[in-house]
Amino acid sequence: MSKPIYILNGPNLNLLGQREPEVYGHATLDDVRDRAAIWAAQFSLDIEFRQSNTEGEIVDWIQEARSSACGLVINAGAYTHTSVAILDALLATDIPCVEVHLSNVFQREEFRHHSYLSSACIGVICGFGVKSYELAVEALAERLGAAAS
C-alpha cells in the first residue's frame, strides 16, 4: 500500500461549521475530511487527516510526514501568518506540500496577506471553501503522477 497524503489543520479549525459561517461556510471539519477522502480516492490516494491547536504538534506531524506521507496539504490557520517553526519543518521535508485556506485571505485583514509557509510549498489555494482542499489534493495527485480512476 502506498503512503497517504497528510492533510494537517491548525488552530480553531475544529470549530468549523459552528461559528462564522459567513467567512468559513457551514461545513464541519468532518465534512472537509470526508470530501477530501472521496476526492483523493479518485486518484487511488489515501489521506491521513488531522487537526491540532498546538504549534509543536503540527511541527511533529510534518516531521512524521517526511517518512510516512507521499505529500502534504496544510491549512495552518493563524500559524500561517506567524510560524517560522512550521516554515522550518516544511523546509526540512522533501515531499511536495500545498498550502490551503478556506477563505480568500487577500480579501481580509492585511495581516492575513502574508504567509510564512508559501515559500516552502509547491502552490497555494485559497478562497474556495471546502473545494480548496479538493483542489489541493488534485494538484498533489498530479504532481505525484497519480492517475484518476
132 neighbors 102 (Cβ within 8 angstroms): yes
**One character per residue 6-45, x = contact with ligand CA2 (rule: CB under 6 A):** ------xx-xx--xx---x---------------------
132 neighbors 125 (Cβ within 8 angstroms): yes
From the list 6, 79, 101, 116, the catalytic residue is: 101
* Closest CB to ligand CA2 among residues 98, 146: 98
From the list 24, 79, 116, 133, the catalytic residue is: 24
101 is catalytic: yes
DSSP 8: E
List, edge to edge, every strand of the sheet that includes 123-126: 47-51, 5-9, 71-75, 97-101, 123-126
Tell me: does residue 117 bind ligand CA2 (CB under 6 A).
Answer: no
> Judged by CB under 6 A, which of 103, 123, 128, 143 binds ligand CA2?
103
Give the DSSP H/E element, type plus range, for residue 72.
strand 71-75
How many CA within 13 A on the CB side of residue 83?
25
Tell me: does residue 75 bind ligand CA2 (CB under 6 A).
Answer: yes
Nearest to 79 by CA among 6, 13, 5: 13
- Judged by the rule CB under 6 A, the positions of this chain that interact with ligand CA2 are 12-13, 15-16, 19-20, 24, 75, 77-78, 80, 101-103, 105, 112
Active site residues: 24, 101
